[in-house]
């Protein structure tokens, strides 16, 4: 009959006997075995050292001297090993169960250790400077770009479930109950915005980059179309206000034709000439308006008044209601939109997944955007550490305080017990070497 070995068990080993699974326990056994070995060596050395006593002259025979050295080594090694055993054991429990003062240090000072750990964590890891320094080389944007740009990682079943869940939640929500707080939140945020400087900065940026030129061109074309559509009304107005003589001599028609031709020519020249005086005058007016919006308190007060009147207008409230409903319906459609045939796999997120993938690619290709995202991540994480560091360390302290003394002792001993047993081993060997040196000095002085 062939014996079979249980799965997962190494051949030739009996777990828990000669090869305990716990490394700390194994080292305790080694340290204890070394101490027992030194005790046996001391007994043997003392026996043979006395056995050879008186068999020589002077300092005794060479054999007696060697046994003496060995006995001194073993004796000092026992003392060193026992002292370190007592020191290591006293950290976690009372040696031999005796109520010796200043033993079982960790169980007796569990709460103080918890507070010290929390204070150390707060002072050395959860400060704004330390977190910012640690995050300085962290490329959050690069990781995010790689994740979003990879459809297989950003989607899959998780993406399907997430998009379906979000769409179902939005579809079942009461538009009125959810829209009311959303509208109130948006209104409060708009009220807090100092609108005039913001508009001034936006306008100044548009002018500096020349992005206002297409707007001016569009306005000029619109003015031309408006003038053309109302040409008959303008002619009638000139005719009605002209005198009888002008109407009899038809000078009113000539005046209307000349005025309209001049206006059309002015609009055409302004459109085709980027340096036209009318354009320069418009630029000067817009620049002055931008400066007033930023720095003129009177202009700021007028804009604030207009903003308050707009917020109080029922039409604005209706617009917010319609905006929320359109956004909700559109978001549901985006979440439920299937991937187009032959299109890129966006992991089940439809148009939203495609947008996320596009953002990931842009994040990977645009160094400026990547730097901005990394800067925002560093500031946010450092700010979280500063704001919530006390709460984090309080949680650590309270958690350790709730542990019973036995749990704390076992966890700390499991973490550092193996190294502490090396202290016992080293203490045994170093003690023996010191005893050997002292015995040599004693013999030769």
- What tens digit of pLDDT does each residue of 77-121 get? 899 888 888 888 887 888 877 778 877 777 777 778 777 777 777
Share in percent of the chain as helix, strand, coil (round to 5): 80, 0, 20
Q: How confident is the model at residue 378 (pLDDT cuts 50, 70, 90)?
A: confident
Residue recorded with tokens 């990977």: 364
> For the stretch 294-330, what's the b/e string if a residue is b when 16 or more beta carbons lie within 10 angstroms of its beta carbon?
bebeebbeebeeebeeeeeeeeeeeebbeebeeebee
Q: Which among 325, 278, 293, 318 has a CA at the least distance from the CA of 204? A: 293
Q: Which residue do the tokens 């309080």 mark?
A: 394
Q: Which of these ranges, 84-88, 255-259, 440-444, has the smallest mean pLDDT?
A: 255-259
3-state secondary structure of 19: strand
pTM of the model: 0.40
Residue 141 token pair: 């944007």
15 SS3 class = strand
> Distances from the Cα of 38 to the Cαs of 70, 272, 346, in angstroms?
10, 105, 70
Q: Alpha-carbon distance 215 to 202, whole Å?
A: 14
Per-residue pLDDT, 178: 64
Of 18-27, 38-47, 237-246, 362-371, the range with the lowest mean pLDDT is: 18-27
pLDDT of residue 251: 66
For 104, the 3-state DSSP assignment is: coil
State the pLDDT at residue 12: 43
> How remote is the C-alpha of 4 from its chain's centroid?
52
Q: What is the pLDDT of residue 37?
A: 92
Provide the pLDDT for residue 162: 63
Q: In terms of pLDDT, which residue wins out, 348 or 69?
A: 69
């Amino acid at each position: 009959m062939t014996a079979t070995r249980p799965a997962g068990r190494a051949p030739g080993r009996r777990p828990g006997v000669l090869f305990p699974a716990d490394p700390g326990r194994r080292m305790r056994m080694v340290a204890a075995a070394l101490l027992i070995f030194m005790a046996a060596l001391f007994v043997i050395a003392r026996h043979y050292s006395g056995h050879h006593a008186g068999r020589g002259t002077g300092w005794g025979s060479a054999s007696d001297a060697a046994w003496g050295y060995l006995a001194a080594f073993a004796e000092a090694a026992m003392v060193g090993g026992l002292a370190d055993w007592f020191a290591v054991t006293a950290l976690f429990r009372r040696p031999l169960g005796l109520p010796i003062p200043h033993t079982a240090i960790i169980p007796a000072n569990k709460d103080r250790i918890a507070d010290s750990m929390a204070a150390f964590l707060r002072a050395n890891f959860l400060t704004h400077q330390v977190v910012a320094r640690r995050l300085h080389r962290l490329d959050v944007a690069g990781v995010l770009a790689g994740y979003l740009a990879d459809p297989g990682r950003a989607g899959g079943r998780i993406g399907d479930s997430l998009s379906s869940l979000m769409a179902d939640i939005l579809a079942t929500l009461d538009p009125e109950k959810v829209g009311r707080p959303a509208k109130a939140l948006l209104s409060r945020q708009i009220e807090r915005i100092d609108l005039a400087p913001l508009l001034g900065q936006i306008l100044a940026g548009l002018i500096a980059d020349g992005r206002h030129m297409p707007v001016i061109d569009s306005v000029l074309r619109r003015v031309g179309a408006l003038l053309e559509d109302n040409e008959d009304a303008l002619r009638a107005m000139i005719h009605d206000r002209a005198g009888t003589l002008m109407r009899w001599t038809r000078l009113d028609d000539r005046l209307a034709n000349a005025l309209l031709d001049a206006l059309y020519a002015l609009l055409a020249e302004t459109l085709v000439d980027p340096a036209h005086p009318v354009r320069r005058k418009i630029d000067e007016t817009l620049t002055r308006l931008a400066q007033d919006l930023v720095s003129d308190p009177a202009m700021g007060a007028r804009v604030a008044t207009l903003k308050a009147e707009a917020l109080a207008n029922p039409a604005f409230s209706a617009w917010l209601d319609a905006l929320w409903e359109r956004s909700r319906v559109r978001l549901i459609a985006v979440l439920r939109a299937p991937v187009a045939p032959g299109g890129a796999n966006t992991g089940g997120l439809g148009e939203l997944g495609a947008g996320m993938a596009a953002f990931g690619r842009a994040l990977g290709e645009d160094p400026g955007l990547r730097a901005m995202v990394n800067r925002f991540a560093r500031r946010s994480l450092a700010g979280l550490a500063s704001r919530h560091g006390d709460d984090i360390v309080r949680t650590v302290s309270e958690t350790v305080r709730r542990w019973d003394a036995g749990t704390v002792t076992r966890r700390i001993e499991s973490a550092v017990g193996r190294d502490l047993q090396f202290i016992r081993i080293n203490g045994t060997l170093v003690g023996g070497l010191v005893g050997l040196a002292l015995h040599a000095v004693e013999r030769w002085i």
